[in-house]
Amino acid sequence: MSPRGVATPDVSERLFAAAERIVERDGPGALTSRAVTTEAGCAKGLLHAHFAGFDAFVAELCLNRFARTAAKARALSGLVGEGTVAGNLEAVTLALFESGGPSLSGLAMARPAAALRIREALEGGAPGFHAVQEAVTGYLKAEQRLGRVAKTVDPDAVALAVVGAAHHLLLTGWPGAPDPRPSMSRLVKALVGG
């Protein structure tokens, strides 16, 4: 445990990682501010010292993970012409399910104040599913220009289908539910070939 009055490095990420472990291990019902700080091994008041309440913490956790996935999606542009199209696309779509994605999505939806904060942030331009969709579309168009994606493939429709399916699986999953990743892999291969 960090001693009182001593700075805790990278507080947000430490608390976010602790929250993900709790949700993954015990489900969203076990997530409380005390559980998070205990799991993170830090002072009980640290979460509230850095966030304007628990709903703000949950919202920031979700927004942070959306941004992380959007950054992975934007990195697709650097993979044009490398590896396989399906493999590159799968890596991004499967990132949506890392770190308790379904449980975190359910947690945010079950907390109306957190859901409102997330919606407002997304409306204000924070990266979310739309950013992932745009990156996938751009990537597929670039691969199409190289001839690695058939001209008959509609990149906008494929991106919408992949992101929409991931969104559906995230929002309808629960701890202990069947792993959604095999379904996503099959979908990607069906849409772009594999």
- Per-residue pLDDT tens digits for 23-69: 878 877 888 999 999 999 999 889 999 999 999 999 999 888 888 88
pLDDT at 4: 47
Q: Give the span between the Cα atoms of 169 and 92, in whole angstroms.
A: 15
Residues whose CB is less than 8 angstroms from the CB of residue 176 and which lie 6 or more positions away in sequence, other chains included: none
Mean pLDDT to the nearest integer, 156-178: 83
**For 101, phi and psi rounded to 5 degrees?**
-45, -55
Q: Are 192 and 158 in contact (CB under 8 A)?
A: yes
pLDDT at 128: 81
pLDDT tens-digit readout, 81-135: 999 999 999 988 887 777 556 667 677 777 889 989 988 998 999 988 888 899 9
pTM: predicted TM-score of the whole model, two decimal places: 0.78
**In terms of C-beta density within 10 A (0-12 exposed, 13-18 middle, 19 or more buried), how is residue 76 classed?**
buried
Q: Give the span between the Cα atoms of 87 and 189, in whole angstroms.
A: 9
